Structure 1
Amino acid sequence: MASYAGPSSVEWVESGGGPLIAIPEVVLPFWTGADGDEFASDYDRACEVEGLVGLLPVGNTTALVLGDDPAATAYLPEHGTFVRWCAGESERELLAGVPAALAGAAWEREVRWEIPGPVVLFDAAWPGEESTKTGHLRIELAPGRYVVRAANAEPGPETWIGLVQIRPLGQ
């Protein structure tokens, strides 16, 4: 996990340059990452997702691709939101801007995501079975249907944040 200028208050996951992906833990063995003998690897499929978020089939469920920018990403459970560090002088400043960013965000289209339980966020290039050997986050989400929306926000003159909010359907 990345650490920025002193002790970190949250854990950050970074990418080697491609998208990050949140995969339900139970189907991690089905994600081959950049490996594979097929014409297009799972990683290639993730790279083809357009926009800030998208869904890809994995096993008998779907994974959430965090597209657009390979920014360092943390999950803030109190906001039900992945926060993507696009620009900001310090972690403290970036995290302090999250409430304003959420309140003023111009959200893109929503997607519906049904999951069987906890998910693991990691670099989409890694095979799922090896995801816990590298920077990753395990996010406790209850089984169910969720609404996912994404936006980019500028809560301050030098602070740019990507937001991916996950809410249980019906809330």
Structure 2
Amino acid sequence: MAGYADTVVVPGAVRWVESSGGPLIALPEAVLSFWAGADGDETSSDYDRACDVDGYVGLLPVGDTRALVLGHEPASTAYLPEHGTFVRWYAADSEAELLADVPAALASAVWEPEAEWRVPGPVVLFDAAWPGRAFTDTDHIRVELAPGRYGVRAAHVSTGPETWLGLVRVSPLTG
């Protein structure tokens, strides 16, 4: 898969982010400069904190907000705004097959408990190993989220014998 910097953005095309082996994070743009990635103290870097997340998702303090960590496996991940969902490609014969299965996966998902995520605005999804100031040097996706509170739920779904995907739904909370 080509890196973000090597590709031309095609309207309507799904863009995928990969990691070098660790978790991905969705970090509010407002605090990108606070994320040190794997840099810093050898025993407690931001990347180490992200790796310590147990499960499909977790929230970590960064500056005056929190980052959403997509844990469990370093799967290629896309954001589908029409579903308000990060889709993680665990196994499928093709992108078309995986994307065609998303509606059925959303309908049949057994969701983990919901977490509340407050964001000050758009977030950037990228490899947690990278410092926030250098995210443009790697695959990344900018996700347009309005400032506010969101419910985050994750699920792991098999839609066929050779198709597995992870779902991380990000839904606005009211009230």
TM bucket, shorter chain: over 0.9
Pairing 1:140–2:144 present: yes
1:18 corresponds to: 22
Return the offset for 1:39. Answer: 3.0
Return the offset for 1:156. Answer: 1.9
In structure 2, how many angstroms separate the alpha carbons of the residues matched to 1:63 and 1:82? 14
1:45 corresponds to: 49
2:160 corresponds to: 156
Q: Secondary structure at the match of 1:97?
A: helix
Unaligned runs of 5+ in 1: none
Return the offset for 1:75. Answer: 0.2
The count of aligned residue pairs is 168
Q: Secondary structure at the match of 1:64?
A: strand
In structure 2, how many angstroms separate the alpha carbons of the residues matched to 1:2 and 1:28? 23
Return the offset for 1:113. Answer: 0.1
Q: After the TM superposition, which of the residue ranges 137-146 and 150-159 deviates more from structure 2?
A: 150-159
Whether the 8 Å CA contact 1:115–1:145 is kept in 2: the answer is yes
1:56 corresponds to: 60
TM score, norm. by length of structure 2: 0.92
Return the offset for 1:157. Answer: 2.1
Residue 63 of structure 1 aligns with an amino acid whose one-letter code is: A
Unaligned runs of 5+ in 2: 4-9
Q: Secondary structure at the match of 1:109?
A: coil
In structure 1, how many angstroms separate the alpha carbons of the residues matched to 2:174 and 2:104? 23
Select 1:168's aligned residue among 156, 168, 172: 172
In structure 2, how many angstroms separate the alpha carbons of the residues matched to 1:39 and 1:15? 21
1:113-128 correspondence runs (5 A):
113-128=117-132
Stretches of 4+ aligned residues off by more than 2 angstroms: none
Q: Secondary structure at the match of 1:100?
A: helix
Pairing 1:77–2:81 present: yes
Deviations 1:14-49 (A, max 9, x none): 010000000000100000000003630000000000
1:32 corresponds to: 36
RMSD over aligned Cα atoms: 1.7
Residue 99 of structure 2 aligns with an amino acid whose one-letter code is: L
